[in-house]
């Protein structure tokens, strides 16, 4: 187990009989435990590769005491480590060989985090109870644990009460903690799992021998080839969702991130089936029975788009209808990078049909667009152009473009000084049907998209419409035609 900044191995108890060990493709052999009463030297072997391949283990050190401390890697999350020990008796004979053991680490912070239990943890009872795992990871301050099942989060442990036992070698958990620490889960190596995915979200940990995956793209593409997988995600400890999405129409990825063996992720499967398919192993279902908690936390969802031109100076804000800034490009799971932007709305309380304003801006230019959330995993808002321009010297309202339009048009206007601004749409009878802006704006050039819908989300009929702006003492109107 982890002791301070070391992986601590020990064999101070004499074991009776032998243990069975499943290696590789269901190869079973017996391995006696080490007996300190009969041995005087212990050779320690270590692997940072495939733990089921004996060829990946190399000699680490020799000790004459029944324990060994190995310093943890600089980043123990990215590099699980595995060990076995060969014992030599008083006559110099190779007498015993241990089972293979391992450790992988998880980061905890105040809030939600994901973790796994890929080993047979040598602590407490069999089966392992959540309260025992909580005590084992004392520095994390875990108060609650959940599996994902039946389309919602299923409580495993809450307020110190055990609800379901831990399935060692298979459990992938969402936990809520109050501590900040990087801690290891360690124990006897167990067979690599094969996951039974269902249609929808699945929570799982990346098998310890899944070394060919370096990032979310490689993981998504492998699952996609078997089950159909448009997205994978993970929970940033103490933060929000990090999510990768792929748009087949443009063959473009948004939000890539690194992945590591033993770490827990979410993947959406279009079709039920098992994964990975490259190796045999014990089949575990990612969905577990139990009463779900539907309102625990929102599931991942991305709003993305592209930036035409210089993107390095672009930032964004997601703003509520009340003018509150909910997310920016500096929040977890949100970013502007390589001519693209993505907004992780799964980090706020969202529902289908919710409306927001996305503001993309530079020091000299602002583009605004209305966002109405649909029921998809991700939404693409299109391409936006933000050129660095001189701040306007006077107020102006420009005509809509395109005009006539269907289904959307872009309305541009200039604000010469900070003031209260209202930009509204009226039908041919003079009735107000939509309010696009109603707040105080800084001086700058603005652009906002209108989707031809009223404030209540209803599609408006084709015909003549008027755009009216009031900014301080300035007012102006322009005509536009919605074509159906």
Contact (Cβ atoms closer than 8 angstroms) between residue 2 and residue 183: yes
pLDDT at position 349: 86
pLDDT band with cut points at 50, 70 and 90 for residue 234 = very high
Domain 2-104 has CATH 2.60.40.10: yes
How far apart are alpha carbons 109 and 477 in whole angstroms? 52
Cβ atoms within 10 A of the Cβ of 301, count?
A: 25
SS3 labels along 257-284: CECCCCCEEEEEECCCEEECCCCCCEEE
Whole-angstrom CA distances from 102 to 35, 259, 374, 425 are 20, 19, 44, 64
Contact (Cβ atoms closer than 8 angstroms) between residue 343 and residue 305: no
Return the DSSP state at 453: B
Return the DSSP state at 192: P
Mean pLDDT confidence for 238-242: 93
Q: Is the pLDDT of residue 31 over 60?
A: no
Return the DSSP state at 286: S
pLDDT at position 341: 96
pLDDT in tens, 265-278: 999 999 999 999 76
Contact (Cβ atoms closer than 8 angstroms) between residue 328 and residue 315: yes
Element of type H or E holding 312: none
pLDDT band with cut points at 50, 70 and 90 for residue 443 = confident
pLDDT in tens, 243-260: 999 998 888 999 999 999
Q: Is the pLDDT of residue 19 over 50?
A: no
Domain 302-385 has CATH 2.60.40.10: yes
How far apart are alpha carbons 127 and 139 in whole angstroms? 22
pLDDT-above-70 percentage for the chain: 92
Q: Which of 198-212, 232-246, 440-454 has the lowest mean pLDDT?
A: 440-454
Contact (Cβ atoms closer than 8 angstroms) between residue 85 and residue 42: yes
List Cβ neighbours of 222 (8 Å cut-off, separation of 6 or more). Answer: 212, 213, 275, 276
The structure tokens 């009969």 sit at: 38
Average pLDDT over the chain, rounded to an integer = 88
Whole-angstrom CA distances from 276 to 204, 227, 231, 406 are 11, 10, 16, 45
Cβ atoms within 10 A of the Cβ of 265, count?
A: 25
Contact (Cβ atoms closer than 8 angstroms) between residue 160 and residue 176: no
Q: Is the pLDDT of residue 303 over 80?
A: yes
Per-residue tokens: 273 = 């089936």
Distance, C-alpha 351 to centroid of its chain:
19
Mean pLDDT confidence for 49-64: 95
Residues of CATH 2.60.40.4070 domain(s) within the chain? 396-482
Q: Is the pLDDT of residue 28 over 50?
A: no
Q: How many residues does the chain have?
A: 484
* Strand partners for 438: 422
Closest CA to 298 of 347, 234, 356: 347
Whole-angstrom Cα Rg for the chain: 29
How far apart are alpha carbons 260 and 72 in whole angstroms? 16
Residues of CATH 2.60.40.10 domain(s) within the chain? 2-104, 302-385
pLDDT at position 290: 61
The structure tokens 């991130």 sit at: 257
The structure tokens 């004392």 sit at: 138
pLDDT at position 434: 93
Q: What angle do CA 374, 379, 380 make, to 5 degrees?
A: 145
> Where is mean pLDDT largest: 115-129, 163-177, 385-399?
163-177
Closest CA to 139 of 104, 162, 105, 173: 105
pLDDT at position 133: 95
How far apart are alpha carbons 269 and 272 in whole angstroms? 7
pLDDT at position 16: 42
Q: Is the pLDDT of residue 32 over 90?
A: no
Return the DSSP state at 313: T
The structure tokens 């099942």 sit at: 149
pLDDT at position 370: 84
pLDDT in tens, 411-429: 999 999 999 999 999 999 9
pLDDT at position 456: 85
Per-residue tokens: 32 = 């006696």
pLDDT at position 11: 82
pLDDT at position 174: 96
Alpha helix (H) residue ranges in 144-242 = 216-227
Coarse DSSP helix, strand, coil percentages of the chain, rounded to the nearest 5 percent: 5, 50, 45
pLDDT at position 279: 59
* Strand partners for 384: 307
Q: Is the pLDDT of residue 446 over 80?
A: yes
Per-residue tokens: 344 = 């992780």
CATH class as words, domain 396-482:
mainly beta
Q: Is the pLDDT of residue 219 over 70?
A: yes
Report the relative pairing of strands 409-415 and 315-319 from DSSP bridges.
unpaired
Per-residue tokens: 141 = 């301050």
Return the DSSP state at 405: B
pLDDT at position 12: 66
Per-residue tokens: 284 = 């575990």
């Amino acid at each position: 187990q982890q002791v301070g900044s070391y992986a601590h191995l020990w064999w101070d108890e004499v074991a009776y009989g032998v243990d069975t060990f499943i290696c590789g493709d269901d190869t079973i052999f017996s391995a006696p435990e080490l007996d300190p009463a009969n041995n005087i030297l212990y050779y320690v072997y270590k692997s940072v590769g495939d733990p089921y391949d004996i060829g990946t283990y190399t000699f680490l050190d020799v000790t004459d005491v029944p324990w060994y401390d190995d310093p943890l890697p600089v980043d123990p999350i990215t590099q699980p480590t595995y060990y076995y020990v060969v014992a030599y008796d008083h006559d110099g004979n190779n007498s015993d060989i241990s089972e293979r053991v391992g450790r992988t680490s998880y980061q905890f912070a105040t809030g939600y985090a994901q973790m796994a239990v890929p080993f047979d943890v040598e602590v407490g009872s069999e089966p392992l109870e959540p309260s025992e795992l909580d005590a084992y990871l004392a520095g994390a301050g875990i108060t609650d644990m959940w599996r994902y099942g039946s389309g919602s989060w299923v409580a495993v442990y809450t307020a110190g009460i055990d609800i379901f036992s831990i399935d060692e070698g298979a459990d992938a958990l969402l936990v809520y903690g109050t501590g900040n620490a990087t801690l290891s889960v360690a124990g006897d190596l167990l067979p690599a799992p094969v996951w039974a995915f269902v249609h929808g979200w699945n929570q799982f940990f990346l098998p310890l021998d899944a070394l060919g995956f370096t990032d979310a793209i490689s993981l998504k593409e492998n699952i996609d080839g078997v089950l159909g997988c448009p997205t994978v995600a993970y929970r940033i400890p103490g933060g929000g969702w990090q999510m990768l999405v792929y748009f087949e129409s443009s063959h473009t990825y948004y939000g890539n991130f690194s992945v590591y063996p033993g770490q827990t992720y979410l993947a959406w499967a279009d079709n039920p089936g098992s994964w990975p398919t490259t190796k045999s192993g014990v089949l575990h279902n990612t969905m577990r029975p139990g009463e779900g908690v539907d309102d625990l936390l929102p599931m991942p969802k991305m709003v993305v788009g592209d930036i035409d031109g210089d993107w390095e100076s672009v930032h964004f804000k997601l703003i509520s209808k009340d003018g509150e800034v909910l997310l920016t490009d500096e929040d977890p799971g949100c970013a502007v990078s390589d001519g693209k932007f993505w907004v992780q709305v799964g980090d706020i309380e969202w529902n289908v049909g919710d409306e927001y304003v996305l503001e993309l801006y530079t020091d000299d230019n602002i583009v605004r667009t209305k966002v109405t959330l649909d029921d998809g995993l991700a939404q693409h808002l299109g391409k936006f152009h933000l050129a660095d321009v001189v701040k306007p010297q006077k107020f102006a309202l420009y005509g809509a473009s395109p005009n006539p339009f269907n289904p959307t048009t872009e309305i541009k206007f200039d604000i010469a000084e900070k003031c209260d601004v209202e930009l509204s749409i009226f039908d041919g009878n003079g009735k107000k049907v939509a309010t696009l802006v109603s707040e105080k704006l800084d001086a700058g050039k603005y652009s906002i998209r209108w989707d031809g819908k009223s404030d209540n989300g209803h599609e408006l009929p084709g015909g003549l419409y008027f755009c009216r702006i009031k900014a301080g003492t300035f007012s102006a109107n322009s005509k536009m035609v919605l074509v159906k």
